[in-house]
């Protein structure tokens, strides 16, 4: 029987070309199929069928750093619906070596930017957040 060697959620590095930020949270990949149902000829049994699949939007966030946030905000302001590729690489515990094949999100487009949230009663770290649509994903 094989021995499982799971890795923590922190052992992934997410990169987006042109956005040199250390992303600290990633919502994950959720690939879902539509489903339907129908009754058999006698009507006493309901059957289910699976239809087309789609990938849910993904969210990335990072601590707010004025210099890095400025670069990301400029990408958002100049964005013209180009497709973007996002790579999620599993790494070793210290983040220095690859630990298996990378996930690649293809056909991504910027959908939302959230920045400059404020709460004077909080000591929480400010964040910058991006939401992307995703058309497909692969793991090579």
pTM listed for this prediction: 0.85
Model confidence band, residue 20 (pLDDT cutoffs 50, 70, 90): confident
* Per-residue pLDDT tens digits for 101-124: 999 999 999 999 999 988 999 999
Helix (H, G, I), strand (E, B) or coil at 104: strand
* Per-residue pLDDT tens digits for 59-95: 999 999 998 889 899 999 999 999 999 999 998 877 7
Higher per-residue pLDDT: 5 or 131: 131
Give residue for tokens 């709460």: 119
Question: For residues 70 and 77, what is the distance between their CA atoms, to the nearest angstrom?
Answer: 10
Average pLDDT (8-21) is 86
Domain ranges of the chain: 12-139
Average of per-residue pLDDT values in the chain? 91
What proportion of the chain, given as a percentage, has pLDDT over 70?
A: 99
Q: Poorest-confidence range of 17-21, 26-30, 31-35, 73-77? A: 17-21
Residue (of 77, 140, 88, 133) closest to 110 by Cα position: 133
Q: Which CATH class is domain 12-139?
A: mainly beta
């Amino acid at each position: 029987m094989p021995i499982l060697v799971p890795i923590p959620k922190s052992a992934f590095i997410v990169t987006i070309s042109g956005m040199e930020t250390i992303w600290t949270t990633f919502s994950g990949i959720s690939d879902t199929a539509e489903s339907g149902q129908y009754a058999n000829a006698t009507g006493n049994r309901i059957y289910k069928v699976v239809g087309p699949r789609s990938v849910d939007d993904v969210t990335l966030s990072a601590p707010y750093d004025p210099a890095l946030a400025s670069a990301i905000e400029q990408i958002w302001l100049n964005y013209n619906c180009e497709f973007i590729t996002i790579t999620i690489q599993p790494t070793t515990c210290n983040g220095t070596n690859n630990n298996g094949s990378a996930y690649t999100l293809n056909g991504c487009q910027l959908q939302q930017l959230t920045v400059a949230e404020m709460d004077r009663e909080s000591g929480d770290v400010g964040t910058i957040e991006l939401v992307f649509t995703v058309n497909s994903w692969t793991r090579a």
